[in-house]
Amino acid sequence: MSNYYQPEIETASRECLKKVQSERLVRTVANCYENVPFYRKKFDEIGLLPGDIKSIDDITKLPFTVKQDLRDNYPFGLFAVDREKLYRIHASSGTTGKQTVVGYTKTDVERWADGAARALVAAGVTKEDIVHISYGYGLFTGGLGLHYGVEQMGAITVPASTGNTKRQIMLLQDFGAAAICCTPSYALTIAEAMEEAGIDSKDLPLRVGIFGAEPWTEAMRKEIEKKLNIKAYDIYGLSEIAGPGVAYECEEQSGMHICEDYFYPEIVDPDTLEPLPDGEYGELVFTCIGKEALPLIRYRTRDISCITHETCSCGRTLVKMKKPRGRSDDMLIIRGVNVFPSQVEHVILTLGMDPNYQILVDRINNADVMTVCIEMSESVFSDSIRNIEATEHKIAAAMQSVLGVSTKVKLVEPRSLPRYEGKAVRVIDNRKLS
Ligand code: DLL
């Protein structure tokens, strides 16, 4: 028997959903036109008036929004509300140090928390349960997103945040959490640390895990479920739209129900931008129809996925998206942190080196390891090993401060990296996730 947090929406008829979506889209478009000069200009350019949008079926008349638009309007240029209505600000990585800034009103935070609460309840979390949150707290939306979700549905939060795996395990044992929320790779790190410490997961009351923020496979799901002796559920989200809880898995574990009453999804061909039918893979696009502060229209997520309107055995009618298969841009996700190769290049150039580099990404003991190989100049090459190591450390520290994730740096001999006639292959991702 399924548990729902908001059955009136989660199991609503298609007609009812369409009505809600249409009303909210009309309101969103008016809000954008009146309060966001960027959108007014875009609409004017294509001769579109808010009155042209009468129902959700008109959505394809609207222009797309991309991450660069957020960067160009850094930090608050796309916000549709005055400061007194603004309630929270979050941010995610940018390309050259500047982050993508997102804002929420109180209602926005409550609606986002609804999404996270739906996810927790769908995973079987109840009000009596303790939920251990090991997503990072801070500007990243993971920690606070799940935190507000737990508070919204009424369970008990342990805001553990990331790091110190031994302490995480001790808290899991001592407090007896029934649910854990973290990245899937961190779940495996915890499982392995438990094994090493001779702790049998069967002795813990842990029942479920809610894992997301990075791509993970069905094989990884099986491994986590076996090692931690739990059910592992997927949760999807992105800062620009809300954070965790944009979509969530139910007991069927075959894709994530999208909170389409707040975030209207479309799948488009990433090259032609034409809408694609149910079941076909393409780029996932969201319109924030239930958001006040940052109501993005047709935001291109760059995530490649597909959506299906088939009925689900859990009784939910909300459309389902498949696990994202990859991205249509070059963004990497390293231990849950978004990293663009252009950020790496920026650091190298800032330190006065030539941009002959290659990024290697591996998954070692279930954790992502990023190594940046950089060619030395002849003068550095003639240096002592000690000097070379010092330079490597200096670059690694600069990478850590700009990227927000630790990076190995390896200086290699001059002209030892491959040269390309066409596009340089800057990234070799050995993680084989799909
Ligand atoms: O990662 C929000 C989040 C936190 C989701 C905690 C789930 C759990 P960003 O840092 O803005 O936000 O990164 C968003 O991460 O466009 C996807 O490429 C990727 N991503 C998020 N969830 C999943 C998932 C958070 N379940 C980007 N599977 C997105 C695969 C995911 N990729």
Nearest CA to ligand 1 atom 28: 215
Q: What is the topology classification, in CATH, of domain 332-433?
A: GMP Synthetase; Chain A, domain 3 (3.30.300)
236 lines ligand 1 (CB under 6 A): yes
Angstrom distance (rounded) from CA 135 to CA 129: 18
Residue with the bigger pLDDT between 18 and 341: it is: 18
Considering all CA atoms of the chain, what is the largest pairwise distance in Å, rounded to the nearest integer? 72
Mean pLDDT, to the nearest integer, of 90-104? 79
266 lines ligand 1 (CB under 6 A): no
pLDDT at residue 96 tops 80: no
Mean pLDDT, to the nearest integer, of 205-214? 96
405 lines ligand 1 (CB under 6 A): no
Mean predicted lDDT score pLDDT of the chain: 93
- 1-328 and 332-433 share one fold: no
212 lines ligand 1 (CB under 6 A): yes
Looking at residue 366, what is its pLDDT?
81
Q: Quick: pLDDT tens for 367-424.
A: 899 999 999 887 777 778 888 999 999 999 999 998 989 999 999 998 898 877 666 7
From 90, 139, 303, 330, the mutation candidate for ligand 1 (largest count of ligand atoms within 8 A of CB) is 303
**Global pTM value:** 0.88
The residues, any chain, with a CB within 8 Å of residue 145's CB and separated by 6 or more, are 112, 113, 116, 135, 237, 242, 243, 244, 245
Q: Quick: pLDDT tens for 251-289.
A: 999 999 999 999 999 999 999 999 999 999 999 999 999
> How is residue 65 annotated by DSSP?
B
Mean pLDDT, to the nearest integer, of 52-74? 96
| Domain edges within the chain | 1-328, 332-433
pLDDT at residue 157 tops 60: yes
Expressed in angstroms and rounded, the spacing between residue 268 Cα and the centre of ligand 1 is: 19
152 lines ligand 1 (CB under 6 A): no
Atom of ligand 1 nearest to the CA of 237: 5
From 147, 214, 240, the mutation candidate for ligand 1 (largest count of ligand atoms within 8 A of CB) is 214
Looking at residue 423, what is its pLDDT?
60
Nearest CA to ligand 1 atom 14: 238
Domain 1-328 has what CATH class? Answer: alpha beta
> How is residue 98 annotated by DSSP?
P
* DSSP code string of 251-307: TT-SSEEE-TTTEEEEEE-TTT--B--TT--EEEEEEETT-SS---SSEEEEEEE-E
Length of the chain measured in residues: 434
